[in-house]
A = this chain, B = another copy of it.
Amino acid sequence: MSETPTVDAEVRPEAEDQSETFDRMMREVSDLLERHDMAGLVDYVQELHSADIADLIEQLHSDERATFIAATRGILDAEVFIHLDEIVRDEVLEYLRPEELAAVVSELDTDDAVYLIEDMDEADQREVLAAVTPEDRAALEEGLGYGEDTAGRLMQRDLISVPEFWTIGQTIDYLRETDDLPDEFYEIFVVDPRHRPIGSVPLNRAMRSKRPVRISEIMEAEPRIIPVDMDQEEVAYIFKQYRLTSAPVVDATGRLIGVITVDDVVEIIEEEAGEDILRLAGVADDDLFDTVLSTTRTRFTWLLVNLGTAVLASIVIGLFDATMEQVIALAVLMPIVASMGGNAGTQTLTVTVRAIATRDLTSANALRLLNKEFLISLINGVLFAVLVGLVAWAWFGVPLLGGVIALAMIINMVIAGISGMLVPMALDRLNIDPAIASSVFVTTITDIVGFFAFLGLAALVLL
CB–CB A194/B7 < 8 A: yes
**What are the residues of chain B within 8 A of A206 when measuring CB–CB?**
207
Categorize the interface residue count of chain A: 35 or more
In the bound assembly, the distance between CA atoms of A283 and B109 in angstroms comes to: 42
CB–CB B241/A335 < 8 A: no
- Closest beta carbon of chain B to A170's beta carbon, Å: 13
**What are the residues of chain B within 8 A of A362 when measuring CB–CB?**
19, 22-23, 26, 59
Contact with B along A311-323 (1 / 0, CB 8 A): 1011001100100
**What are the residues of chain B within 8 A of A332 when measuring CB–CB?**
314, 317-318, 321
CB–CB A245/B243 < 8 A: no
In the bound assembly, the distance between CA atoms of A331 and B334 in angstroms comes to: 10
Does A274 lie at the interface of the complex (its beta carbon under 8 Å from any beta carbon of B)?
A: yes
Does A49 lie at the interface of the complex (its beta carbon under 8 Å from any beta carbon of B)?
A: yes
Of the stretches A34-42, A98-106, A132-140, A382-390, the one at the interface is A382-390
Contact flag A204-B176 (CB < 8 Å), given A269-B270, A303-B384: no
Contact flag A238-B18 (CB < 8 Å), given A283-B351, A332-B318: yes
CB–CB B270/A360 < 8 A: no
Contact with B along A174-202 (1 / 0, CB 8 A): 01101001101110000000101000001
Q: Which of A276, A344, A376, A387 has the most CB of B within 10 A?
A: A376
Residue of B nearest to A186 (CB): B186
Contact with B along A7-28 (1 / 0, CB 8 A): 1101100110111001100100
CB–CB B338/A335 < 8 A: yes
CB–CB B59/A365 < 8 A: yes
Does A45 lie at the interface of the complex (its beta carbon under 8 Å from any beta carbon of B)?
A: no
Of all A-B residue pairs in the complex, the 4 with the closest CB atoms, nearest first, are A273-B273, A281-B350, A331-B331, A203-B203
Which residues of A come within 8 Å of B, CB atoms? 1-3, 7-8, 10-11, 14-15, 17-19, 22-23, 26, 30, 49, 51-52, 55, 58-59, 61, 85, 172, 175-176, 178, 181-182, 184-186, 194, 196, 202-204, 206-210, 225, 227, 234, 237-243, 245, 250, 252-255, 262-263, 265-267, 269-270, 273-274, 276-278, 280-283, 287-289, 292, 295-296, 299-300, 302-303, 306-307, 309-311, 313-314, 317-318, 321, 324-325, 328-329, 331-336, 338-340, 343-344, 346-347, 349-351, 353-355, 358-365, 368-369, 372, 375-376, 379-380, 383-384, 387-388, 391, 447
